[in-house]
Amino acid sequence: MEPRKILQLLADGRFHSGTELAGHLHVSRAAVWKQIEQLRELQVAVNSVRGRGYRLPGGMVLIDADLVRAAMPAPARELLAELDIRDMVDSTNSVAQSRVRAGAAHGYCCLAEFQSSGRGRRGRNWVSPYGAGICMTVVWEFLGGVAALEGLSLAVGVAVAEALEDAGVPVRLKWPNDLLLADAKLGGILIELGGDAGGTCQAIIGIGINVALPEDAAGSIDQAWADLRNAATRDRNLLAGKVLGRLLPALATFAGSGLAPFRERWSARDALRGRLVEVRAGAEPWSGIADGIDRQGGLRVLAPGGEQVVRGGEVTVRPREVPDAAG
C-alpha cells in the first residue's frame, strides 16, 4: 500500500466519505476501509464517523522536498548534496548507511515519514509513527579519524536546539544531546560512524523530533516525552529546513574548529547544571551535582570524592532529597 495517496486526500483534516475517497483512488469502498485500517497500523490517528466518513484530526502536512529546501538559507542549501525523501523505511540511519556503502555521500540527507525500526541511543528503539515527527539522517565526512569527532554530538545538539529556537520552540539540552522541552524529551540524536577509524570517516547523524505523537503511540515510550502540539509551529517542512539550515554549517564549522565554537552555546542551554544527577556508566550507579561540560564535551559532575568527568553512559536527574523536617 502507498499511504501517501490517501493521506493527501485526508490531509486537510476535514471529513471525506468512503465513496468520495474510493472515487479519487479508483478503488472500492472496501479497499478504502482496508487502507484506513493500514493507516491505523502505522499509528496514524484516523477518526471514522458513520454518515460522515473519515478524517485526520488536525490534518497532516507531508514532507515535501521543495518546501524543505525553501525553508533553508541559501548558504546551507549549497552544503546539501542530496535530499532523499522516503515514505516508509526501517531506519533513516540504515538508509544512509546503505547510501554510504554505495559511494560518496558527503552532504546526503534522508527524511522519512515512518520508521518501522527507528533506533535510539543505548540500544533503545525510537518510536516514529507515520507523519508524527521528523526522522532525519545526514551524512558528513570528516578527516582526521574518530578521535577528532569527540564532542560532535554536542555540536549537533546545539545546531538542532538553535533551529528549534528559530522556529519559536525554547529547548534545552540534556547531556550528551537529548532535546528537552519543559524537562521532557522532545528529540534525540544518534550518531553512527563509518569509514576509516584513523582517517576519513563518515558520521551518520540521525535526528528524531516528536512533532505530534498520537496518544496510543506515546504509550510505548518509557520516559517523560514532549511534542510540538502546543508550540509555535508544527510545520515539519519548515522545521526540517530550519534544522538543515543550522546543522550543515555547524558540521562545516566542527570540521574546522571542533567543539570550541559550540561550548558556550551548549552551556547556555544546559538542562543539568546544578542538578543532582545519577550516573550509570560502570558497574555501580553514583550521584553528584552536574557542573557543565569540559573542553572535549565530557560532563563534569561534583561527587563526594571530588570532580569526575563522564564521557559515556546514562545520566538521569534525581529529585533532591528533602531534609527531614523533624530531624
Selection from 60, 58, 55, 62 nearest residue 14 by Cα: 55
Selection from 127, 184, 152, 134 nearest residue 260 by Cα: 152
- Shortest Å distance, C-beta 323 to ligand BTN: 34
CA distances to 152, 222, 254 from 75, in Å: 21, 39, 16
- CA–CA distance, 315 with 288 (Å, rounded to integer): 10
Can you give the binding site for ligand BTN, defined by CB under 6 A?
91-93, 115, 118-121, 124, 126, 135-137, 178, 188-190, 206-208
270 touches 173 (CB < 8 A) = yes
- CA–CA distance, 283 with 95 (Å, rounded to integer): 35
Q: Which residues, in sequence order, are CB contacts of 134 under 8 Å at separation 6+?
A: 111, 187, 207, 208, 209, 211, 236, 239, 240, 243
Residue carrying the nine cell digits 570550541: 260
- What is the amino acid identity at position 203? A
- Closer CB to ligand BTN, 118 or 258, in the complex: 118
Active site residue 5: no
Active site residue 318: yes
Q: Which of 77, 121, 172, 275 is catalytic?
A: 121
- Shortest Å distance, C-beta 274 to ligand BTN: 23
- Shortest Å distance, C-beta 189 to ligand BTN: 6
- Shortest Å distance, C-beta 91 to ligand BTN: 3
- Closer CB to ligand BTN, 51 or 123, in the complex: 123
Active site residue 101: no
Q: Which residue(s) pair with 210 in the sheet?
A: 133
- Closer CB to ligand BTN, 222 or 324, in the complex: 222
- Shortest Å distance, C-beta 319 to ligand BTN: 22
- CA–CA distance, 295 with 291 (Å, rounded to integer): 13
Residue closest to ligand BTN (Cβ): 188
- Shortest Å distance, C-beta 89 to ligand BTN: 8
Q: Which of 55, 174, 185, 269 is catalytic?
A: 185
Cis, peptide link before residue 176, omega less than 30° from 0:
yes
Rg, Å, the chain Cα set: 22
- Closer CB to ligand BTN, 115 or 202, in the complex: 115
**Catalytic residue set:** 121, 185, 318
